[in-house]
Structure 1
């Protein structure tokens, strides 16, 4: 396996990329259907929790998801967690005027920062879980997210996924996603994205994650959307 980036290296890359992650009109363009999934997840949260009170966004970036959510539900408290201080500062700046609730920022890794258990109606985890490493890391992270939720709370995920079959993975990732990245800019950009994914990320398949969510205790899970190597899904406690 290629030696993976450290948390510090990941933090430093995101520190330099705040403006790209602050665009509500496009979302993150290297992800497929980014804007559609943002709307789908925030619409879903608003539909399930019309009286939403407590939201936790792990790996919040510049805050697109809670900002989008605040256009529909405007009185929730929100805890924002991220490795990057510039991202947190931007997320706080954008969100604090949109909700009448409290906005708190916490710099650090969601796996290790102190968060109160049984406290959140909703946890948002978008483009963050692919940074997890081995199976033990995945299991411990999902167990922690389960413990943080209130009974009836839910975890909303949108992320990069892989296919378990090698030939299908090659077709979907290297051919189709590669073509998508090339069309965004050019082949050198495709190679740049592939390179930092190889060095930073250790994604798992959608099936792996759905099964693990049930294993750690979630009552049921549901797939919202999947296109090639990106998927959005939800799990209820």
Structure 2
């Protein structure tokens, strides 16, 4: 049984070439690669000052061993702290934390602890030294696996040491996406919520191959 193919009305395309005058590649990419999950990264600097900042270039890099990645666009405080201590926590941002998370995106001096500044409650992590956000529905405690420099950015790969999930977002042993209620980043100043959730079984070979 062949699967039906979707169709859209044809439309002319506008071509943007990176490097050409007036082309904002970053703005275009972040407006079309979406929604992007948010790594709300908590770290501690070598001087003991905490840092909490959102990063929307975030994903899973490896299943076994479990490794997650986030990208520092430029030499951000999160990167400096991870390089110094080799530990960090990725906190998942729920919808009710929008204002707090957005507040931590302000580019304040590295001597400022964003969580303390904005009154964001933290709690001790289970394995690593950086604390996690107390209100975050799930967190991923990591040690540094490696970094990769790409252009003006650095990809940080974190070896997962512990995953903590609040019981309220669990359905049995599984995380319920609707209860997790994660925020995402869209283009410009826009943020996204989960919206409609659709379930679709992954097709078997016989579902897509011709009879």
Tell me which interval the TM-score lies in, with the shorter structure as reference length.
Answer: under 0.3
Higher-Rg structure is: 2
**TM (normalized to structure 1)?**
0.21
Higher strand share: 2
RCO higher in structure (CA 8 A, sep ≥6): 2
Higher helix share: 1
